[in-house]
Chain A
Amino acid sequence: MAKNITIFTTNTCAYCGMVKKWLSAKGMNYEEVNLDEQPDRQKEAFEMSGSLTVPVTVITKHDDTREVVVGYNLAKLAPAVA
């Protein structure tokens, strides 16, 4: 169960829109970090995901453990937010 969700996105990334759409359809709130607007946070996204790609979805659970899902991957997102 997610305590909070952060998504790293860019303006042109269609897969980022899909993650946001999917979470919204589930009625879940999220914080969005747009790397076009905040390029200084790219390093943070890379350190969390190990990847130079977006979307990166960081799910912080109630026990403060974190799960990081790279890309629009429902097979990983669904259990991560469940």
Chain B
Amino acid sequence: MAKEVIVYGADWCPSCKRLIEKLNTEGIAFEYRDVEQAEIGNEHLGIAGNNIPEGKRGIPTIVVDGEMQVYPDDEWLKSRLDFTSDQTPDTKVHDVVMVGAGPASLAAAIYTTREDLDTVLYEKGVVGGLASITDWVDNYPGYPDGISGMDLGENLRKQAERFGAQIELGEVTGIKTADGLVELETTDGPVKAKAALVATGSDYKRLGVPGEDDYYARGVHFCATCDGAFYRDKRLVVVGGGNSAVQEAMFLTKFATKIDMLVRGDKMRASEVLQHDLEKFKDKITVHFNTSTDEIVGDGKLVTGVKGTKNGKQELFETDGVFVFIGLKPNTGFLAGTSVELDDIGLIKTNDKLETAIPGVFAAGDVRSGATMQIASAIGEGATAALRIREYLEELAR
């Protein structure tokens, strides 16, 4: 006799969606109760409070013949339901899986979902990528007064999700092809797709000097919008002379009283506009050219200074914290050992269709060799990749 199965969930809950898909795949009949409806919500809370061990209140909650489980895992489900297959959580073959959910992927997803291609994105960090942790974006077309990076990332996410993109918070750890499909290893298990887009972007480079790891998050930082608030009325060092360093140093003047910028070369690499803006902060920001950063020192608990070499002479810059913006490194570590070809600095090589050395695996945005590291171009590449993926899938179907 079939078991009575009830699922409590909500439309916005991806885990609920996965559970429902799984039950459907396994042919298990169930009743769905949406906790967003006040009556059902109260019922769910009542059930959870009264019967579930440890008072767990979460969704999805499943009830099998009166036995309840919040966040049921595969093992629990298999032991109570008549699963005919030994399938992993995501058994569906998606049309496209995107690795990373920054501007390139989100733009691509807007296009693929509007083409009715089933699209899943995996993001291990922030949805919106590096753009989302950038204080302010002034050069993205369409926003005459600029836009905060966080708002831009959020807008892209909403637009992609409006058309049905599914964003999973997890990490892709490997990629290969088998039987004409792309197989990705993720922290949620294996995932299969007809095509994949790698748009993992880049991360801020580290200095690689003594003290950097020891004082990480205790005075050494790589995200001004995250950690700047801890330096109200304090003194800071910013390392770097590019766009990010200048932009984030200006942002940090909201908090810090004095900032020393240590620039390795004899001039700034930042754009003329940003250099001009920086002039307005000269009462708070002092730029030191020809200055290397040699060591970050502290009292064992927090940072107290930065040892540098300025014009060949050693100098100690006393500070409460150091923010490092010395360039980007591509997030391609997970591709080691695959057939995806990388260039000398680890960026992904593609052909003019943005396809990598693995058929069906495309790359776009900052992670692609030849990329210009701009949000606008990442979005353009995302759109191009989506159209190339559509062509690839059409070809595949023939």
Chain A 15-59 interface residues, beta-carbon cutoff 8 Å to B? 15-18, 21-22, 25-29, 35-36, 39, 42, 46, 50-54
Interface segment, one of B110-118, B214-222, B269-277, B289-297: B214-222
Q: Judging by beta carbons under 8 Å apart, are B217 and A10 in contact?
A: no
Residues of A within 8 A of B59 (CB): 27
Residue B169 at the chain A interface, CB threshold 8 Å: yes
Residues of B within 8 A of A16 (CB): 226
* Chain B interface size range: 35 or more
Shortest Cβ gap from B188 to chain A (Å): 10
Shortest Cβ gap from B304 to chain A (Å): 13
Q: Judging by beta carbons under 8 Å apart, are B169 and A53 in contact?
A: no
Residues of A within 8 A of B135 (CB): 12
* Chain A interface size range: 20 to 34
Rounded to whole angstroms, the CA-CA distance of A75 and B187 in the bound complex is 9
Residue B213 at the chain A interface, CB threshold 8 Å: no
Given contacts A26-B58, A26-B71, contact A54 B226 (CB under 8 A): yes
Rounded to whole angstroms, the CA-CA distance of A72 and B56 in the bound complex is 22
Q: Judging by beta carbons under 8 Å apart, are A53 and B15 in contact?
A: no
Residues of B within 8 A of A29 (CB): 57
Given contacts A12-B228, A13-B225, A28-B58, contact A53 B217 (CB under 8 A): yes
Shortest Cβ gap from A44 to chain B (Å): 12
Query: What residue of chain A has the Cβ atom nearest to residue B220's Cβ?
Result: A52
Rounded to whole angstroms, the CA-CA distance of A10 and B150 in the bound complex is 12
Q: Judging by beta carbons under 8 Å apart, are A50 and B218 in contact?
A: yes
Residue B305 at the chain A interface, CB threshold 8 Å: no
Residue B373 at the chain A interface, CB threshold 8 Å: no
Residue B100 at the chain A interface, CB threshold 8 Å: no
Q: Which of A10, A14, A50 contacts B132 (CB 8 A)?
A: A14
Q: Which of A13, A25, A53, A82 contacts B14 (CB 8 A)?
A: A25
Shortest Cβ gap from B229 to chain A (Å): 5
Given contacts A12-B228, A14-B133, A52-B219, contact A72 B126 (CB under 8 A): yes
Among B55, B170, B230, the most chain A Cβ lie within 10 Å of the Cβ of B230
Residue B128 at the chain A interface, CB threshold 8 Å: yes
Chain B 162-212 interface residues, beta-carbon cutoff 8 Å to A? 169-170, 187
Mark B residues whose CB is within 8 Å of A. Answer: 10, 12-15, 35, 54-59, 70-71, 124-128, 132-133, 135, 148-150, 153-154, 169-170, 187, 217-219, 221, 223, 225-232, 302, 321
- What 4 A-B pairs are tightest by C-beta distance, nearest first? A27-B58, A12-B225, A51-B217, A52-B230
Q: List 16 A-B contacts (CB under 8 A).
A: A12-B225, A14-B150, A15-B133, A18-B127, A18-B169, A25-B12, A25-B14, A27-B10, A46-B230, A52-B219, A52-B230, A53-B226, A53-B227, A70-B217, A72-B126, A74-B124
